Amino acid sequence: MWDAPYDGVPGAVVVGDFALTGGEWFPPHRHSAHQLVWSRRGVGSVRVGDETWFLPRTLALWVPAGVVHATGAVDPSWNRSPYFLPERCPAAISAWAEPTVVAVTPLLAALIDHLADAALPTEQRIRAEAVVFDLLRPLSTVAIPLPMPRDARAGQVAAALIDDPADGRTLAQWGALTGASARTLRRVFLAETGLSFGRWRTHARLRAAMPVLAAGQPVAAAARRAGYGTASAFVAAFHRTVGAPPGTYFARDR
């Protein structure tokens, strides 16, 4: 367990700063405090179990105290993460038991920067924290789970699709390669991942497209990376799975 230095903190929030290079990850860990994972610059990512969130600077992820998670970066990032002492948080906030995406408005970003000042007088800190709590509003966007099947044959298919999400082979073609029938592969994917094969492949494709979108490249480029024939088909799949179209999810300002 890793924790920020809370000794002597007059309020509920401690802000931690750390930099990550592109592709770098902190190993799985947990905190005794709640964490709002936010990249002040760059695009961060958080992994909890089989779920991964990609976070441009307009989004952050609330990670409740005690939840094991890994934090990484899609590109070189500067993370400015507030840590919240559970016993000093409003009950409605501390009741968030699951990782929750929140919008980082310009006002919330400015307040986090304000609270990062260790010399901030206690009265000002308490007032700023109260506004921060008011601004923590859950969004309907979701993570993209990608659990791996345990079966060796299905695992071979899954690994190949992660390596090349644009691979359009059918289950029958994969079956001929792995020695399992299409029916067997279909059953194994659903039983061992909780996702149909089609939905699992969609998740793999969208996960591959996320770094492309995060880098600011056009939707058409992300669609090609993910193996979609048209940008509109990719946008529809993204919206249906994540809960928002790519242009909204990766908006520079909300």
- Hey, which residues does 44 pair with through a beta bridge? 55, 73
Q: What CATH number has the domain spanning 13-135? A: 2.60.120.280
Considering the chain, tell me which residue range(s) the CATH 1.10.10.60 domain(s) occupy: 152-249
DSSP 87: G
Query: How confident is the model at residue 83, as a pLDDT?
Result: 94
Q: What CATH number has the domain spanning 152-249? A: 1.10.10.60
Tell me how many degrees the CA angle 122-37-199 measures, rounded to the nearest 5. Answer: 155
Query: How confident is the model at residue 50, as a pLDDT?
Result: 83
Q: 188 Cβ partners below 8 Å, 6+ apart?
A: 149, 151, 153, 154, 180
Query: How confident is the model at residue 1, as a pLDDT?
Result: 46
Euclidean distance between CA atoms 20 and 113, whole angstroms: 18
Per-residue pLDDT of the chain (254 residues; tens, 9 = 90+): 446 555 567 788 999 998 988 888 999 999 999 999 999 888 888 999 888 888 888 889 999 999 999 999 878 888 999 999 998 888 888 888 899 999 899 999 999 999 999 889 999 999 999 999 999 988 877 778 889 999 999 999 999 999 999 999 999 999 999 999 999 999 999 999 999 999 999 999 998 898 888 777 899 999 999 999 999 999 999 999 888 888 888 764 44
Considering the chain, tell me which residue range(s) the CATH 2.60.120.280 domain(s) occupy: 13-135
Task: Give me the amino acid identity at 203.
Answer: H
Overall pTM surpassing 0.85 (yes/no): no
Q: 121 Cβ partners below 8 Å, 6+ apart?
A: none
Euclidean distance between CA atoms 106 and 195, whole angstroms: 37
